[in-house]
Structure 1
Amino acid sequence: MTQKSLLALAVLVSPLTSVAAIQITDNFSISGFGSTSITKSDNSTPLFVHREITDETCYDCDTIFGLQADLSIIEDVNASVQMVKRPQDHWSDVELEWAYLNYEVNQFSFRGGRLRIPLFLISEYYYIGQAYPWARPPQEVYDSILGFTSYEGISASWLWDVNDEAVVRITPYYGFGNDNKVKFSGARFNFKTDYLAGLSAELSGFNYRVHFGYLNSKYLMSPSSSSEKETLNIYTLGGEYSMDDWLFMSEVQTDDLQTNWYVSAAYSIDKFTPYLVYGESHHRRKSNSVTAGIRYDLSHKISLNAEWQGIYMERENYNAGNEGQFVTAPIHYNEDKDVQVYTVMINFIF
């Protein structure tokens, strides 16, 4: 493989935290990451799944802290464990995000254990705020599956060097039946899945990446007015492209209930990166948003974000009790249909 395709491969398979990992022994390392913010909105209705930002200044709505341990057991066999305190978790109740064994042979790799669902462009580093320009991943797409990020099962990946400048990675995966609990707006929901199966396909070059994701699952939600199991099919398509100091990103997610998308542009000026994002949600959630922010890199391990976001809803959708990006419909709070969000965030890796 050439230098360019090796670089593309490194982007595909190397965790961001590896650049800051603490090497304990020759075959064992520990790394970590985190984010926290000061944020508030101008609307008392809780905003964003699992973050629930309101018009009261919040110091822990975005707090994330993770630790990752990587062990090389023997040649071509390694293990990785990642524990994460997510925004919705208490410090005493952190989540095991992944814990798997990985075996590599030639251009193939096989994983088993608790794995990350590879649906989106930044799925592998969703909780690592240092890895993307925004304070939060665009909610239109990344909140569309209620914060589910992991599954317990197996996956296989095939890497194909298309030419001197492009690498393809194809990953089919299968998850076994599981109970997933979600809590928001004071209510607790249980999603009992029979299985989870999907495919991730990614084309990567020196300055671009295109990602396709598909997930199929059968589940039963409780509490619910129906005792019938539902079948879910999710499709995603995303791409990122860098040109000189510009970074462009866009993704679309669609399933039987909704279609969501965003476009983003960021421009680096020395240590500063101003950015703009526009997103829309349709069908189940109906809203559009504009985000403007600036990121300042204190170092390659620490960054700051200052961000404003406006989220808007049509009057007829508001009157019909649509939630938009709120956790519950703002009409139930006798609140305005639109909201402005202000955030100052710090991200770090070690």
Structure 2
Amino acid sequence: MSQKSLLACALLVSPLTSVAAIQITDNFSISGFGSTSITKSDNSTPLFVHREITDETCYDCDTTFGLQADLSIIDDLNASVQVVKRPQDHWSNVELEWAYLNYDFDQFSVRGGKLRIPLFLISEYFYVGQAYPWARPPQEVYDSILGFTSYEGISASWLWEVNDEAVVRLTPYYGFGNDNKVEFSGHQFNFKTDHLAGLSAEVSGFNYRVHFGYMNSKYLMAPSASPNKETLNIYTLGGEYSMNDWLFMSEVQTDDLQTNWYVSAAYNINKFTPYLVYGESHHRRKSNSLTAGMRYDLTHTVSLNAEWQGIYMDSKDYNAGNDGQFVTAPIRYNEDKDVQLYTLMLNFIF
């Protein structure tokens, strides 16, 4: 799949899996996606939230599988359901990622149910590895909110065609109070939110897209040393641009605790796409990383990624017990502050 095709898919309102959907009836379709890998690092400290990759060869650290059903109920009213086995899930305990009703009228649309949080460039297809050039979305940004990807609430979108070359989409959203559980490194944390509210704004054209995201949430975490509720404000800004066979992407995420960013460049040569990514994390997590990889498209629906990633930390941050991109501080394991990660990834859609 060429870089222009990747960007064109990203600009679609519907998920990328629609390009390979199985049409059951005129108004009902089923689609799916998945990823699996062989991966290994040179550090025994678990790496990445929800994946926890170590120096033992892992065959299921990235395993993802999703099914999606889309139903057109009447004109302008449709329903969508997506169930995902995420990397952190067991096959017997998959996650309902979204389930919503959508109504379109003129340039507006309204959704209600369980929805995807629209914070990042690839939020809508975060689990669809076939939709982006890398083996994994850059962890500096995409692990910054501990893997929370959905909420229960409502959203409204307004689409404005500025001219023949630019479209603006504004999406305010509101999530009701909810309990979210996060497990990593053998510990479970519960985040009880009073509310979740935000705004997504995008400007897109034939070969570019600029995305701004904002989210405000008040929550109580347990276990925690503080019994008080915390308020979190998250801001994101990202862009992607396609030029001939090049695809450039960059995003920055900042909140009260951290600032993270990455830049990426990929070049398409027939079925091959070599790519480079550089990322940094500051404040709460302190590290920088360099990723080099090669994607090979076997077909339009199946691809392979071979990837190397080096993640580095300053000695002073290591000695201070900083986690970096690890699940816990490597100094606790008496391990090295840096890590080399090797991945062979298979992605597919149907």
- Structure 1 length as normaliser, TM-score? 0.97
Structure 1 runs (4+) deviating above 4 angstroms are 7-10
Distance in 1 of aligned mates of 2:12 and 2:210: 11
Distance in 1 of aligned mates of 2:168 and 2:9: 9
Q: Report what 1:40 is aligned to.
A: 40
CA contact (8 A) 1:321 1:329 kept: yes
Distance in 2 of aligned mates of 1:196 and 1:287: 29
| Distance of aligned partners of 1:325 and 1:8 in 2 relative to their CA distance in 1, 3 Å threshold | closer
Q: Report what 1:3 is aligned to.
A: none
Q: Report what 1:306 is aligned to.
A: 306
Pick which of 7-16 and 98-107 moved more: 7-16
SS at match of 1:88: coil
SS at match of 2:68: strand
What is the alpha-carbon root mean square deviation over aligned residues?
A: 1.0
Distance in 2 of aligned mates of 1:15 and 1:323: 34
Say whether residues 1:233 and 2:229 are aligned partners.
Answer: no
Distance in 2 of aligned mates of 1:287 and 1:199: 29
Distance in 1 of aligned mates of 2:27 and 2:179: 34
CA contact (8 A) 1:9 1:204 kept: no
CA contact (8 A) 2:10 2:16 kept: no
Distance in 2 of aligned mates of 1:67 and 1:312: 36
Q: Report what 2:20 is aligned to.
A: 20
SS at match of 2:201: strand
| Distance of aligned partners of 1:8 and 1:305 in 2 relative to their CA distance in 1, 3 Å threshold | closer
Distance in 1 of aligned mates of 2:158 and 2:142: 26
Deviations 1:118-137 (A, max 9, x none): 00000000000000000000
Distance in 2 of aligned mates of 1:254 and 1:130: 27
| Distance of aligned partners of 1:10 and 1:211 in 2 relative to their CA distance in 1, 3 Å threshold | closer
Distance in 1 of aligned mates of 2:12 and 2:306: 29
Q: Report what 2:158 is aligned to.
A: 158
Correspondences of 1:57-76 after superposition (within 5 Å): 57-76=57-76
| Distance of aligned partners of 1:175 and 1:314 in 2 relative to their CA distance in 1, 3 Å threshold | same
Pick which of 8-17 and 224-233 moved more: 8-17
Deviations 1:250-273 (A, max 9, x none): 000000000000000000000000
- Residue identity over aligned pairs, in percent, reads 88
The residue type equivalent to 2:286 in the other structure is K
Structure 1 residue 190 displacement after superposition: 0.1
CA contact (8 A) 1:8 1:205 kept: no
Structure 1 residue 184 displacement after superposition: 0.1
Structure 1 residue 240 displacement after superposition: 0.1
Q: What is the total number of aligned residue pairs between the two structures?
A: 344
Say whether residues 1:118 and 2:102 are aligned partners.
Answer: no
SS at match of 2:173: strand
Q: Report what 1:243 is aligned to.
A: 243
- Structure 2 length as normaliser, TM-score? 0.97
CA contact (8 A) 2:9 2:131 kept: no
Distance in 2 of aligned mates of 1:225 and 1:127: 33
SS at match of 1:69: strand
SS at match of 2:181: strand
Q: Report what 2:206 is aligned to.
A: 206
Which residues of structure 1 form unaligned runs of 5+?
1-6
The residue type equivalent to 1:59 in the other structure is Y
